[in-house]
Chains A and B, each alone.
Chain A
Amino acid sequence: MAELEALQESKQESLEIGPTDLLLAIPAPLRSELLTPAIQKVLQACKLLSSPCQVVLALPGENTQDAPAELALNNNDLASQPSLRYVNYPLQAPVPGIIPWLPSSTTYRELARLATTLQVRACTVLGADIGFSRDSLTPEKLTLLIDPGIGGSFDLVMPLYTSQAFDDLVNKSILYPLTRSLYGHRVQNPLGTEFQMSSKMFPLLTGNTARDSSQQQGRLPWLATLAAGRNLKICQAQLGARRPSSAEGIELSDALAQLTGPLFLDMEDNAAFWQRIRGSHDAPIFGVASTSTEATDTVDVRHMVEAFQLGERNLREFWALILPPVTLLELKKLSRLSPDEFHMPDTLWARIIYDFALAHRLRNIHRTHLFGALTPLYLGWVASYAVEINQSGIAAAQQRVEQLARTYESEKPYLLSRWRWPDRFHP
């Protein structure tokens, strides 16, 4: 068994590590039987890089000099990294009620600080499931994630997954189209938890600037919007399929608040930037997506339609504080449709999200109540989406999402008008 050399981080002395190109981090504690195959996969990917690079592993744990005894790597594994080094960083304990796979802003800040101290060219963060459930994440695909940043061409590499029609619906309905409309980049997973960032991104996360430090406190940073706001280069890497994350114990309204709330806060901070953006352009994609022609599953939308109708009956007075009269009228008409005929127009949905973003800024109602009031509307959108693409192919589902994203862009003037003149009467 090869011995690993531990790095001791010192604030007074520079680290005696020699030139290091890449910091690879796994932001979750892995059991020993999972850690080794994960590192093996990473090392195989390093062999395939276009140019050799020195790698440092960042593993969560206490700051010790002891090598993890469970890490069993042989000389073949270490062929490309004979002097593989590792370093520990503190990992925040998971908080009950918070989405478990969503790293905290503290974790990202620690990694960026560590990367700055080590003076690496790039930092790659991998998902905790890299070792065991991601057979589709081959070393070749890992190379697609690592290479663009190491080569110096791109500052941020975001993941692109092959997802089923009913996977990741919050991202498809809100996060992706909204960030695309605001920032002009077609990054399909703007909140991706596997990514690579170049050294230009490190100061944005460590809060070296006075403006950023107050904003990043406690808030999950949106890397894609951070990079877009500074005109950094963004690309995407095809990483294949990914096992859906566990949602047990997380209420939908809480999940909406945790995923969408930081994006709405970013809108307030970057208002001067996104108001100038018109249209969008593709973020280059590395790798080839696997295509599937099988039909999507069929979803029974009755419960979601009933949830929407219950929300329309009981939450109308809250919606009236957020949405204009025309939207309320549309929602009232929608609540009278049967499940088979249920269809929420894209224009209506886009305007609803824009109005909720504005209400988040104006604090018309408490922010916790805001996302609770959004939940029945979101279920209505999901029901409408399911009615349209039930038993269609995945390609049809992807086209549907693209159509929604284009509608968000076309409705951006509505957002601009409401954002700049919120007191003006809007029917």
Chain B
Amino acid sequence: MWGQVHQALLESLHRAVFKVATLLPGVLALIVALVVSIFIGWLLAAILRRILLALHFDTRVEQSGLANISDWSSAKTPTFLATRIVFWLTVVAGLFVGVAAFDASLASGLSANVVTYISKIVAAVVLLIVGIIVARFLSRSVLINGVNMNLEHARLLSLGAKWLVLVFTAAMIFDHLGIARVIVDLGFGILFGGIVLALALAVGLGSRDLVSRSLERDRHKTSTEEDVVRHF
């Protein structure tokens, strides 16, 4: 009997060792893939960093009004952020290659889903950039035109316009990524409607006297200065 138990234990141990031995090449392939991807990621990041520094990428981003992106992340400069993104994307790609060494069917299914989602993330990033640019442009336009119309609270209107566009952009991004769609739709509707209502009340009721004084001042200016001062 003890012989049979001994035999069974030896067989199970043999199967376990065999299983581990089967997995070892996969693990080794994963480690190699990771190391290679880390090296390639580091190389790509270094090349990208040189290119972006030569193109004065940080200055251009700052001038275009996208500097806020770097404020949100832990990166210090847009160049650093871009190089880190490239590095980690390469490492993740290497990880997927390594996972494929374990089980091809598992890896292919996982890869397909991830690739689809990555394309959505790229589109979301583009939406974010466009939204920030539009928000900054609109806020500047509202501010400058408000100042030229002698509105005292031009800055408030400008801020409202900027955040309206940013909230709208955020809602579009979450909807596109499929993150908590119902909550986002509801929340966006409430928030957007609330901002618009607040602005309308501020201008219509709260700033009624101020707006009427501004318009009165403008009308009075027009009637007295127009007869004398001719700019062109």
Residues on A facing B (Cβ under 8 Å): 99, 166-171, 244-245, 247, 251-253, 255, 259, 297-300, 303-304, 306-307, 310-311, 314-315, 318, 364-366, 368-369, 372-373, 375-376, 382, 386
C-alpha gap A382/B231 in the complex (Å): 9
Are B150 and A169 interface neighbours, CB within 8 A? no
C-alpha gap A184/B91 in the complex (Å): 64
**B155 beta carbon closer than 8 Å to chain A:** yes
Residues on B facing A (Cβ under 8 Å): 63, 137, 140-141, 143-148, 150, 152, 154-155, 217, 220-221, 224-226, 228-232
Given known A-B contacts A300-B224, A366-B137, A369-B140, A251 and B148 have beta carbons under 8 A apart: yes
Most buried by A among B145, B224, B230, B231: B231
Are A168 and B232 interface neighbours, CB within 8 A? yes
In the complex, what residue of chain B is closest to A378 when comparing beta carbons?
B231
Most buried by A among B221, B224, B229: B229
Are B221 and A303 interface neighbours, CB within 8 A? yes
C-alpha gap A307/B232 in the complex (Å): 19
Are B217 and A303 interface neighbours, CB within 8 A? yes
- Name 21 A/B residue pairs within 8 A (Cβ), A-sorted: A168-B231, A169-B229, A170-B232, A171-B232, A252-B148, A253-B144, A253-B148, A255-B232, A297-B228, A299-B228, A300-B224, A306-B150, A306-B217, A307-B150, A314-B146, A314-B155, A366-B140, A372-B148, A375-B148, A376-B148, A382-B231
Are A310 and B228 interface neighbours, CB within 8 A? no
C-alpha gap A179/B137 in the complex (Å): 32
Which residue of B141, B143, B228 is within 8 Å of A314 (Cβ)?
Answer: B143
Are A299 and B230 interface neighbours, CB within 8 A? no
Given known A-B contacts A303-B225, A311-B147, A318 and B140 have beta carbons under 8 A apart: yes
| Distance to closest chain B CB from A372 (angstroms) | 4
Are A364 and B147 interface neighbours, CB within 8 A? no
C-alpha gap A368/B143 in the complex (Å): 13
| Chain B residues positioned under 8 Å from A307 (CB to CB) | 147-148, 150
Are B231 and A170 interface neighbours, CB within 8 A? yes
| Chain A residues positioned under 8 Å from B225 (CB to CB) | 299-300, 303-304
Are B148 and A99 interface neighbours, CB within 8 A? no
Are B229 and A166 interface neighbours, CB within 8 A? yes
Which residue of A244, A372, A386 is within 8 Å of B230 (Cβ)?
Answer: A244
| Chain A residues positioned under 8 Å from B148 (CB to CB) | 251-253, 307, 311, 372, 375-376
Are A373 and B231 interface neighbours, CB within 8 A? no
| Chain B residues positioned under 8 Å from A251 (CB to CB) | 148
Given known A-B contacts A303-B217, A303-B221, A169 and B140 have beta carbons under 8 A apart: no
| Distance to closest chain B CB from A238 (angstroms) | 20
C-alpha gap A310/B214 in the complex (Å): 12
| Chain A residues positioned under 8 Å from B137 (CB to CB) | 366
In the complex, what residue of chain A is closest to B155 when comparing beta carbons?
A314
Are A247 and B228 interface neighbours, CB within 8 A? no
| Distance to closest chain B CB from A376 (angstroms) | 6
Are B147 and A252 interface neighbours, CB within 8 A? no
| Distance to closest chain A CB from B41 (angstroms) | 34
Which residue of B144, B150, B220 is within 8 Å of A372 (Cβ)?
Answer: B144
| Distance to closest chain A CB from B58 (angstroms) | 14
In the complex, what residue of chain B is closest to A371 when comparing beta carbons?
B144
C-alpha gap A80/B226 in the complex (Å): 43
| Distance to closest chain A CB from B123 (angstroms) | 26
Which residue of A259, A299, A373 is within 8 Å of B232 (Cβ)?
Answer: A259
Are B230 and A318 interface neighbours, CB within 8 A? no
Additional 18 contacts, C-beta under 8 A, given A247-B231, A366-B140, A372-B145: A166-B230, A168-B230, A168-B231, A168-B232, A169-B231, A170-B231, A244-B230, A247-B232, A300-B225, A303-B221, A306-B150, A307-B148, A307-B150, A311-B147, A314-B155, A315-B147, A369-B141, A372-B144
Are A364 and B230 interface neighbours, CB within 8 A? no
Are B229 and A382 interface neighbours, CB within 8 A? yes
In the complex, what residue of chain A is closest to B153 when comparing beta carbons?
A314
| Distance to closest chain A CB from B174 (angstroms) | 29
C-alpha gap A252/B143 in the complex (Å): 16
In the complex, what residue of chain A is closest to B226 when comparing beta carbons?
A247
C-alpha gap A321/B137 in the complex (Å): 15
C-alpha gap A354/B173 in the complex (Å): 43
| Distance to closest chain A CB from B48 (angstroms) | 24
Are A166 and B228 interface neighbours, CB within 8 A? yes
| Distance to closest chain B CB from A153 (angstroms) | 31
| Distance to closest chain B CB from A379 (angstroms) | 9
| Distance to closest chain A CB from B9 (angstroms) | 78
C-alpha gap A99/B217 in the complex (Å): 25
Given known A-B contacts A314-B143, A364-B63, A373-B144, A167 and B230 have beta carbons under 8 A apart: yes
| Distance to closest chain B CB from A388 (angstroms) | 14
C-alpha gap A104/B221 in the complex (Å): 31
